[in-house]
Amino acid sequence: MNKNVLWAIRLMAVCVAGIIALQFFYSVQNYAIEKRNFSKTVNEAFQVAVDSSFSARNDAISETFRTWISDTASFKITCRVNPKQNVTVFTIAEKLPPFSDQNSTSLSIETFTEKRHAITTKARAIFIDHLVESVRTDLKKGYVFYYTKQLGDKLEKERFFVPIDTGIVRKEYRRELDKRAISLDFSLDPKQITSGKFTTNQINLALKQHVKPRWIRATFPHSAFFVFQKLKWSIAGSGALLLLTFFCFGYTLKLLFTQEKLAKVKDDFINNMTHELHTPLASIIVTAEALQKFEHDKQSQKRYLEIILHQSKRLDSLSSEILDSARMRENTNGNFASTDLNTLIQEAISAFPEVAFDCFIPATEIAIQADRDQLIRMLRNLFDNSVKYANVENLNIRISVSVVGQKINMEISDNGRGIPKDEKSKIFDAFYRIPTGNLHEVKGYGLGLHFVKQVLQNHGGSISVVDAEPQGTLFKITLPK
Ligand code: ADP
């Protein structure tokens, strides 16, 4: 192959490899960034969900506290006006034993400006709301104010011994993830980390410091798929770019190889033609010179003129063959008429009286629409090739024809040398000859089978070549009826 072409192919291959490597690198980087973003988002959401679970629990405790102080059998709420400060002072006192020295508390409410000497339903409700809100705020800050001993003990118990329900954490986490457009399934695992699965940071759900921690973490079994989903357009873009690059590379390679092939075919053709033209021309020149220079008797003159005529005819048939092939390429029409294929085959065979033909053809007429001359020449080209390339003593050409529906199947085989496997696809190309080095033992221009293929295409048919059994070449032809 041409050195420059080789270099161009190498450079293109390096470019394609570079594009693939860069695309791969960017895709891996994008994946890492997307994974980091995912990790940040789900960890943030997890922290928010746990915080919300704690505050939901504080709300629940505050509401329980409301039921305790609203219970008139257990607590008595009264009020009076403190004359010194001129404010209403509320008192909440335990009603049930055991009593301690802190069984009641009195306090005023800054926003309650009325002066009340006795409790009313409205004042009582305002006082209860005030206490509940104070407890809620204290719980948020992380401590409990002992209004009375019994209330304080109950609150401590509720605060430290009723654990956070993971069901609430799950619900809160789901809500937070939905807010962030993450619809992935997750599981809340206290300890175990499943390898290969994405897991959030662990968070302690213990209610007190300095006690055994109660770790919780979330595991996402399908996080990789989610991250890929996010990258789908960038991956699809990369894939499309790679496909386009491969296509361009392949297409350019194909063009380069076609160019190479054409150059080789051209060289072969010029070599062949030079040889084919040179031999008859040299013979004509030598013979004509001999005629010109020397006196010859009638007999010799006749012989020399016959040589000139024979070589001129050879040149003429060569130029006609090339011209015919060119004409056939430009003009696909022909003199189509209804003809009997059987008769055409017999006529083609008649030009080869010295060859043994085995015919398996239906005895009846096989009527087809065809250009008689083209079909006869096509068949003769095939028979001629068998004769030229057979290279065997007892050449035998086998012709079989069968009609299947509207299709005619014809097989023409010989017992010659056959065609090598990797040449089969090329022999129908114009000017293609199977390379034999510089030996031109058999004459030809590589146009015979090209002509055959063109005639068949012209008739709406096709041709392919396979190995004949046990040896030789088998051409399979189809023609429409
Ligand atoms: P050519 O003018 O060289 O005969 P063709 O187009 O007829 O060109 O054939 C192309 C090539 O196919 C030939 O060079 C020959 O090597 C090979 N070929 C064709 N027919 C046969 C055959 N029956 N047996 C073996 N080789 C064949």
pLDDT at 177: 96
How many whole angstroms from 452 Cα to the centroid of ligand 1?
A: 11
Backbone angles phi, psi at 410, to 5 degrees: -125, 135
| 65 CB neighbour count, 10 Å cutoff | 23
User: Would the CA dihedral through 236, 242, 247, 248 be positive or negative?
Assistant: positive
* Nearest CA among 399, 410, 396 for reference residue 455: 410
Q: Is the pTM of this model over 0.85?
A: no
User: What's residue 258's pLDDT?
Assistant: 86
How is residue 418 annotated by DSSP? Answer: -
Q: Which two tokens stand for residue 74?
A: 């257990």
Nearest CA to ligand 1 atom 11: 433
Q: Which atom of ligand 1 is nearest to the CA of 386?
A: 23
- Which amino acid is located at 355 in the chain? V
Residue owning the nearest CA to atom 19 of ligand 1: 385
- Concatenating the DSSP letter of every residue in 228-283 gives HHHTHHHHHHHHHHHHHHHHHHHHHHHHHHHHHHHHHHHHHHHHHHHHHHHHHHHH
Joined tokens for residue 139: 């719980």
Report the separation in Å between the CA atom of 48 and the middle of ligand 1, taken as the mean of its atom positions: 83
Kindly give the number of the ligand 1 atom that is closest to the alpha carbon of 423.
Answer: 12
Please tell me whether residue 432 adopts helix, strand or coil conformation.
coil
Q: Give the pocket of ligand 1 (CB within 6 Å).
A: 385-386, 389, 414, 416-417, 419, 427, 432-434, 444-450, 473
Indicate the burial class of 378 (C-beta count within 10 angstroms; 0-12, 13-18, 19 or more): buried
CA gap 192, 217 in Å, rounded: 9
Residue 210 is predicted with a pLDDT of 66
Taking the centre of ligand 1 as the mean of its atom positions, its distance from the CA of residue 322, in whole angstroms, is 16
CA 448 / ligand 1 centre spacing (Å): 7
pLDDT of amino acid 330: 62
Q: What's the CA gap between 277 and 269, in Å, rounded?
A: 12
Q: For the purposes of burial, counting CB atoms within 10 Å of the CB of 230, is it exposed (0-12), middle (13-18) or buried (19 or more)?
A: middle
Answer yes or no: are the C-beta atoms of 291 and 464 closer than 8 Å. Answer: no
Which atom of ligand 1 is closest in space to residue 445's alpha carbon? 2
Distance CA 143, CA 208 (A): 11
The tens place of each residue's pLDDT in the chain, 481 residues long, gives 678 778 888 898 998 899 889 989 998 999 999 999 999 999 999 999 999 999 999 999 999 999 999 999 999 999 999 999 899 999 999 999 988 889 999 999 999 999 999 999 999 999 999 999 999 999 988 888 999 999 999 999 988 888 888 999 999 999 999 999 999 999 987 666 667 788 999 998 887 766 788 889 999 988 888 898 888 898 899 899 889 989 998 999 899 888 887 887 788 778 777 877 888 899 999 999 988 888 888 898 999 999 999 999 988 988 887 777 777 666 556 788 999 999 999 999 999 999 999 999 988 889 999 999 889 999 999 999 999 998 788 899 999 999 999 999 999 999 999 999 999 999 998 878 888 765 556 777 788 899 899 899 989 999 999 998 888 999 999 999 8
- Between vectors from CA 51 to CA 47 and to CA 55, what angle results, nearest 5°? 170
- Extract the runs of DSSP E, i.e. beta strands, from 356-419: 356-360, 367-371, 396-404, 407-414
What per-residue confidence (pLDDT) applies to 259? 85
Could you give the CA distance from residue 140 to residue 48 in angstroms, rounded to a whole number? 15
433 CA: nearest ligand 1 atom:
14
Residue 431 Rama label (left phi>0; alpha psi -120 to 50; beta): left
Alpha carbon of 316 to ligand 1 centroid (Å): 21
What are 309-318's contacts with CB under 8 Å, separation 24+?
311/280, 311/281, 311/283, 311/284, 311/287, 312/280, 312/284, 314/280, 315/277, 315/280, 315/281, 318/276, 318/277, 318/445
pLDDT at 446: 83
Say if CB 177 and CB 54 are below 8 A apart: no
pLDDT value for 435: 82
d(CA 236, CA 225): 15
DSSP state of 96: S
Tell the residue nearest (CA) to atom 16 of ligand 1.
434
Q: Which residues contact 468 (CB under 8 A, 6 or more apart)?
A: 413, 414, 415, 418, 474
Q: Which amino acid is at 126?
A: I
Distance CA 82, CA 72 (A): 24
What's the pLDDT at 209? 67
**Residues 370 and 344 sit within 8 Å (Cβ to Cβ):** yes
Instruction: Please identify which residue in the block is written with the tokens 């022999």.
Output: 427
Instruction: Give the CA dihedral 384, 385, 390, 396, nearest 10 degrees.
Output: -50
Task: Give the distance (Å) from ligand 1 centre to CA of residue 435.
Answer: 10
Name residue 248's beta-bridge partners.
none
Which of 324, 385, 422, 439 best tests ligand 1's pocket when mutated (most atoms within 8 Å of CB)? 385
387, 411, 433: which to mutate for ligand 1, most atoms within 8 A of CB? 433
Distance, CA 373 to ligand 1 centroid (Å)? 21
Residue 470: what pLDDT? 85
| DSSP summary character for residue 438 | B
Q: How far apart are CA 392 and CA 397, in angstroms?
A: 12
User: Which burial class, exposed, middle or buried, applies to 168 when counting CB atoms under 10 A from its CB (0-12, 13-18, 19+)?
Assistant: middle
Closest residue to atom 21 of ligand 1, CA basis:
385
Q: How many angstroms separate the alpha carbon of residue 427 from the centre of ligand 1?
A: 7
Q: How far is the CA of 189 from the centre of ligand 1 (A)?
A: 77
342 neighbors 382 (Cβ within 8 angstroms): no
